[in-house]
Amino acid sequence: MKSALSTLKEIKAISLKIYSEASGKLAAIENYAEVPWGMQRVFIITAENLEIRGNHAHKNCSQAFIVISGKVLLKSYDGLSEESFELNPLDKLLLVPPHIWIDLELSAGSALMVVTDEPYDEEDYIRDKKEFLKFRMNA
């Protein structure tokens, strides 16, 4: 019996509440309000120049992406369909379930924060696109 695999339809973009003052902006992300699962890991990726990152999928880990500065193009692929999302600073939180291949294009000077529902585990990564397609076919 095959397990249910995530599809691109399950990616959710959530608008963030932004509180602006003359001195700057505040955007808060609350566990279970904006992120529907317990946060286990947070990391930030920065790019001095145009940077290509991602190029992998996860077997179990869900991810939430938010751009802090610059611009990020997130390309997603579920083995059948592709969809791209342009993310701008504090614009939205993009929730991506497991089983989705992600490619990231970070503009020069950008910073991307990623929140996950699992701690780091190298065994959870699928880093080869052919292996990803095989995983999807056999799940």
pLDDT in tens, 36-59: 899 999 999 999 999 999 999 999
User: Where do the domains of the chain lie, and which CATH numbers do they carry?
Assistant: 8-138 (2.60.120.10)
In the structure, what pLDDT confidence band is assigned to residue 32 with cuts at 50, 70 and 90? confident
Sheet of 51-58, strand order: 82-87, 72-77, 101-106, 51-58, 125-126
Residue-wise pLDDT for 69-105, tens only, equals 999 999 999 999 999 999 999 989 999 999 999 999 9
pTM, to two decimals: 0.92
